[in-house]
Amino acid sequence: MSSQLAQLAERALGLIKPSKELIIEKVVIGVLYTGIELEDGTTGVSFTLMNRSTDHEICNRLLQKGFLSEKTLFELIGYCTSSHAILRTIGVAALNTYCQDHMDFSNASCQNIIEILKPAPDMMVGMVGNIHPISRYLAKKDISMRILDKFMPPTNIDSITQVKEVSDLEVVDTILVSGSALIFENFDEIIHLIPQISGRKILLGPSAQILPKLAFDLGFSAVGSSRITNSNLTMRIIQEGGGYKFFKTFTEQYVFLRE
């Protein structure tokens, strides 16, 4: 269990005072992503992390106690404190849904992540989670990268070093952290690392839908994610096992910069 994730959820609940009842329309636990849709169409997503040896039993227990969609959003956010990966997945999806419902997009930046990153030949870029479009771009520019991602297959790209521990990223100049990191057990280690990085610290990806202030309070200088614009098709894609590249069409990307 991540104490940082639990604190993140607590701070979000303290920052936001709901002005309306938030009624869950649908909860979908997909192969790659989990989504929660409210009655008004607001949708939050999270990378699906599951321990195949134990979490199927957890899902069975949940169903014995009733459908997830019949619980309150606050009950689902409470799963952020769980030691079980699948429950944290649901908790982060609920937290993201809650934040998206109260997000003010009027101050969002029109810059893209590469513009914010400003990669240079002498730079060492760290990544928690292989963010494919960015790593491909940086590889073409021969920018040195250290990537921590246990699901990433071995690569023969000279500019990429695959690492196994968060401590292996202490030497990087700037770092990009996938929002999926919120769910992993080493999230506390990642947040502990952030102040040691002198350059830009960016939280991004579909799972990074938290309020910008929450990301900034963790030490990030920028946060980029996606706002779901078509909840019906997005949830259908998630339900049928699709990943972000399939529901990206039904989103609007945004970036917030710390002042």
Q: What is the pLDDT of residues 175-226, one digit of tens each?
A: 999 999 999 999 999 999 999 999 999 999 999 999 999 999 999 999 999 9
Band of residue 74 on the pLDDT scale cut at 50, 70, 90: very high
**pLDDT band at residue 129, thresholds of 50, 70 and 90?**
very high
In the predicted model, is pLDDT for residue 56 greater than 80? no
84 inside domain: yes
Mark whether 37 and 117 lie in a shared domain: no
CATH number at 18 reads: 3.30.390.100
User: Same structural domain for residues 98 and 205?
Assistant: no
Nearest to 16 by CA among 107, 100, 105: 100
Least confident span in 2-11, 62-71, 237-246: 62-71
Mean pLDDT (whole number) for 25-34? 95
* Number of domains within the chain: 2
- Region 92-119: mean pLDDT is 92
Residues 111 and 212 in one domain: yes
User: CA 200, CA 191: separation in Å to the nearest integer?
Assistant: 14
Residues 144-149 have a mean pLDDT of: 97
Residues 131 and 211 in one domain: yes
pLDDT band per the 50, 70, 90 thresholds, residue 7: very high
Which band of pLDDT confidence, cut at 50, 70 and 90, is reported for residue 60?
A: confident
Pairing, β 43-47 against β 124-128? unpaired
In a domain, 162, yes or no: yes
Q: What value does the mean pLDDT take over residues 123-144?
A: 95
pLDDT at position 62, please? 74
Residue 235 lies in a domain: yes
Q: Kindly state whether residues 49 and 99 are assigned to the same domain.
A: yes
Task: Indicate if 220 and 122 belong to the same structural domain.
Answer: yes
Same domain? For 203 and 111 the reply is: yes
Q: Does residue 99 sit in the same domain as residue 111?
A: no
Statement to judge: residues 137 and 178 lie in one domain: yes
| Same domain? 232 vs 204 | no
Contacts of 113 (CB under 8 A, 6+ apart): 134, 176, 202, 204, 222, 224, 255
Tell whether 210 is covered by a domain. Answer: yes
- Please tell me the distance from the alpha carbon of residue 106 to that of residue 119, in angstroms, as a whole number: 27
Q: Tell me whether residue 259 is in a domain.
A: no
Q: Are residues 124 and 218 in the same domain?
A: yes
Q: Inform me whether the pLDDT recorded for 259 exceeds 90.
A: no
Query: Mean pLDDT of all residues in the chain?
Result: 93
Which residue segment(s) compose the domain that 184 sits in? 107-226
The candidate with the shortest Cα–Cα distance to 190, out of 96, 109, 233, 126, is 126
Instruction: Say whether pLDDT at 58 is over 90.
Output: no
Q: Check whether 34 has a pLDDT greater than 90.
A: yes
What pTM value is reported for the model?
Answer: 0.94
| CB distance 13 to 21 below 8 Å | no
**Which CATH number covers residue 182?**
3.40.50.11590
pLDDT of residue 30: 94
* pLDDT over 70 (residue 77): yes
75 and 144 within one domain: no
Residue 256 lies in a domain: no
How far, in Å, CA of 11 to CA of 193, rounded?
A: 21
* pLDDT for the residue numbered 53: 63
pLDDT reported for residue 128: 98
Q: Which of 39, 40, 58, 42 is nearest to 50 (CA)?
A: 58
Rg (CA), the chain: 18
The pLDDT, as a whole number, for residue 52 is 65
Residue 257 within a domain: no
137 falls in which pLDDT band (50, 70, 90)? very high
In a domain, 10, yes or no: yes
